[in-house]
Amino acid sequence: MGKKICLTRAMFEKVLEHLIRLEENKNRLIDEYYPEIGDERDKFIDFLSEYVNKIDGVVEDIRISDEADNEFPFVIIGSEVEIHDVDENEVFRYKLVTPYERDIANGHISFLSPMGKSLLLKKKGEDVSVKTPSGIYRYRIKKIEVV
């Protein structure tokens, strides 16, 4: 990566803790949410590997600073994401969490939800479409912070 990511020491440690917790809980997530052997399970396992590899690739480029803004180059679990609804011209803020931590009333959404899946690994400025039972919604990512 060309651009250094600047995080506070506490946020850097949170990113590392996240990777460790994900590795520790990976099999539980797979077994609980994709219990059937098959393509869906295999795709999820591949996705988790891609996700971990992408974060690992960024970790070595992180610079520690007390004045860091804690912006991350793409959405990860634990990120707080500000998005702009392109059609309704509204701004929303969500925190992506594991399914065990979701709390929709406080804006904590699972990375396995339609919104979470659409946002995960996307970059600031990127447009995403979220397919839900009530239709397709379009958003632009405005800000990504590790919190």
The model's pLDDT over 6-49, given as tens digits with 9 standing for 90+, comes to: 999 999 999 999 999 999 999 999 999 999 999 999 999 999 99
Name 140's bridge partners. 84, 127
Does pLDDT of 3 surpass 70? Answer: no
CA distance from start to end of the chain: 22
The model's pLDDT over 92-105, given as tens digits with 9 standing for 90+, comes to: 999 999 999 999 99
Spatial contact of 95 and 78, defined as CB atoms under 8 Å apart: yes
* Cα–Cα distance measured from residue 110 to residue 102, given in angstroms and rounded to the nearest whole number: 5
Structure token pair of residue 78: 């634990």
b/e per residue, 5-22, with b = 16+ CB within 10 A? Answer: bbbbeebbebbeebbeeb
The architecture (CATH level 2) of 79-146 comes to: Roll (3.10)
Rounded to two decimals, the pTM is 0.88
- 121 falls in which pLDDT band (50, 70, 90)? very high
Coil, strand or helix: which one is 126?
coil
Q: Where are the domains of the chain?
A: 5-64, 79-146
